[in-house]
């Protein structure tokens, strides 16, 4: 194998691929900065919107790496089969070897990133499905002037779904885990246990977000507002729950949250309208995040 021809082809292909990547990344950044809508105040975020966006971003990144590999392969093949005469003949051997080593490192990194993206896409696909199933189930809650908002930002983070109506406010957090043969879930206090005895986690973070929303709504309407914290575990069967602060449901019995209320949870019409207007402004698809 001719080391000079090989290194020369690698140098040309690597330089061309880097230029290609710079052009593509610059164009993507420009296109993202120019993204807008003719109806920015009317398009709301859909269920699992941020996960859809993440999945699209991963797909674009995967496409860039695969296309870059194709560009490198094509240019390398042409440069190796039809080498430019005399261009690399005077280079010392160590420079040629360094070029080959850099190529191997770049190839290894590309394969590593593609492997990471594939794993992330698989995980994200399940999270997306779980959140979409929850969002679609919430569409059934149309009574009592209920409105459903998705990916609601607050100072404590992002709440997956928020239901606002005359009978109260519910902050629904989706916990997406693939169920196994034992698909029972149990809630005791603020500890959620999957397949009892195998995996446990705290849901206190969801409670913190609900409390933060309640504080923000209180500033808006001028009196105490209660936000109920609901935990959704799509695909799991609810074994038992012992908690006054949380309600645990799956995507099939999500409608039962409407029965979890007290008289003090009820809101006046003007309160509902004010809170819904605030969340509408926060949850526009092309608004400020």
Indicate whether 154 and 127 sit together in one domain: no
Indicate whether 174 and 101 sit together in one domain: no
36 or 148, which is more confident? 148
Q: What is the pLDDT of residues 76-118, one digit of tens each?
A: 998 888 777 666 666 677 777 888 888 889 889 989 999 999 9
CB burial readout 90-108, b (16+ within 10 A) else e: eeeeeebeebeeebeebee
Q: Is the pLDDT of residue 63 over 90?
A: yes
Partner residues linked to 228 by β-bridges:
170
Contact of 187 with 231, CB cutoff 8 Å: yes
Contact of 164 with 277, CB cutoff 8 Å: no
How many C-beta atoms lie closer than 10 Å to residue 185's C-beta? Answer: 26
Contact of 43 with 286, CB cutoff 8 Å: yes
Q: Which of 104, 135, 166 is where one domain is finished?
A: 135
Q: Which of 91, 119, 135 is where one domain is finished?
A: 135
Q: Is the pLDDT of residue 289 over 60?
A: no
What pLDDT, on the 0 to 100 scale, is given for residue 89? Answer: 62
Which pLDDT band, with edges at 50, 70 and 90, does 33 fall under? confident
Contact of 134 with 47, CB cutoff 8 Å: yes
Indicate whether 66 and 194 sit together in one domain: no
Q: Which of 135, 165, 200 is where one domain is finished?
A: 135
Indicate whether 128 and 165 sit together in one domain: no
Please give the helix or strand (H or E) that residue 60 lies within, else none: helix 49-81
Q: Is the pLDDT of residue 266 over 70?
A: yes
What does residue 145 show for φ and ψ, rounded to 5 degrees? 60, 30
Indicate whether 147 and 276 sit together in one domain: yes
Strands 246-249 and 227-232: parallel
Q: CA 281, CA 262: separation in Å to the nearest integer? A: 28
Q: What is the pLDDT of residues 135-161, one digit of tens each?
A: 999 988 877 789 999 999 999 999 999
Enclosing domain of residue 208: 141-282
> Is 288 part of a structural domain of the chain?
no
Indicate whether 145 and 238 sit together in one domain: yes
Indicate whether 10 and 113 sit together in one domain: yes
What is the Rg, in whole angstroms, of the alpha carbon atoms belonging to the chain? 27
The candidate with the shortest Cα–Cα distance to 58, out of 4, 107, 128, is 128
Which pLDDT band, with edges at 50, 70 and 90, does 288 fall under? low
Number of domains in the chain: 2
Indicate whether 221 and 267 sit together in one domain: yes
> Is 287 part of a structural domain of the chain?
no
Mean pLDDT rounded to a whole number for the chain: 89
Q: Is the pLDDT of residue 57 over 70?
A: yes
Q: What is the pLDDT of residues 181-204, one digit of tens each?
A: 889 999 999 999 998 777 899 999
**Contact partners, residue 68, CB within 8 Å, separation at least 6:** 17, 20, 21, 110
> Is 289 part of a structural domain of the chain?
no
Indicate whether 102 and 230 sit together in one domain: no
Please give the helix or strand (H or E) that residue 162 lies within, else none: strand 157-165
> Is 196 part of a structural domain of the chain?
yes
**Contact partners, residue 23, CB within 8 Å, separation at least 6:** none
> Is 275 part of a structural domain of the chain?
yes
Indicate whether 171 and 214 sit together in one domain: yes
What pLDDT, on the 0 to 100 scale, is given for residue 59? Answer: 94
What pLDDT, on the 0 to 100 scale, is given for residue 260? Answer: 86
Q: Is the pLDDT of residue 37 over 80?
A: no
> Is 75 part of a structural domain of the chain?
yes
Contact of 70 with 78, CB cutoff 8 Å: no
Indicate whether 112 and 150 sit together in one domain: no
Which tokens in the block code for residue 190? 């603020």
Indicate whether 83 and 130 sit together in one domain: yes
> Is 60 part of a structural domain of the chain?
yes
Q: What is the pLDDT of residues 204-262, one digit of tens each?
A: 999 999 999 999 999 999 999 999 999 999 999 998 888 889 999 999 999 888 888 88
């Amino acid at each position: 194998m001719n080391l000079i021809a090989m290194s020369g082809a690698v140098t040309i292909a690597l330089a061309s691929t880097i230029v290609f990547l710079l052009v593509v990344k610059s164009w993507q950044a420009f296109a993202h900065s120019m993204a807008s809508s003719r109806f920015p105040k009317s398009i709301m975020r859909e269920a699992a919107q941020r996960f859809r966006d993440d999945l699209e971003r991963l797909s674009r990144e995967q496409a860039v790496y695969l296309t870059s590999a194709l560009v490198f392969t094509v240019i390398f093949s042409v440069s190796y089969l039809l080498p430019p005469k005399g261009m690399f003949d005077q280079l010392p051997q160590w420079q040629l070897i360094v070029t080959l080593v850099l190529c191997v490192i770049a190839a290894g990194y590309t394969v590593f990133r593609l492997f990471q993206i594939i794993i992330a896409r698989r995980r994200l696909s399940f999270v997306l499905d779980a959140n979409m199933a929850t969002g679609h189930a919430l569409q059934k809650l149309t009574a009592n002037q209920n409105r459903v908002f998705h990916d609601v930002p607050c100072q404590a983070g992002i709440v997956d779904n928020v239901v606002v109506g005359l009978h109260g406010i519910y902050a629904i957090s989706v916990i997406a885990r693939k169920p196994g043969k034992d698909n029972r879930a149990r809630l005791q206090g603020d500890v959620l246990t999957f397949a009892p005895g195998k995996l446990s986690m705290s849901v206190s973070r969801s409670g913190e977000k609900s409390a933060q929303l309640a504080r923000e709504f209180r500033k808006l309407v001028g009196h105490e507002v209660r936000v109920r914290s609901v935990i959704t575990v799509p695909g799991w069967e609810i074994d038992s729950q012992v908690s006054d602060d949380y309600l645990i449901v799956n995507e099939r019995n999500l409608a039962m949250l409407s029965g979890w209320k007290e008289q003090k949870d009820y809101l006046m019409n003007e309160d509902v309208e004010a809170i819904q207007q605030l969340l509408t402004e926060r949850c526009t698809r092309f608004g400020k995040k």
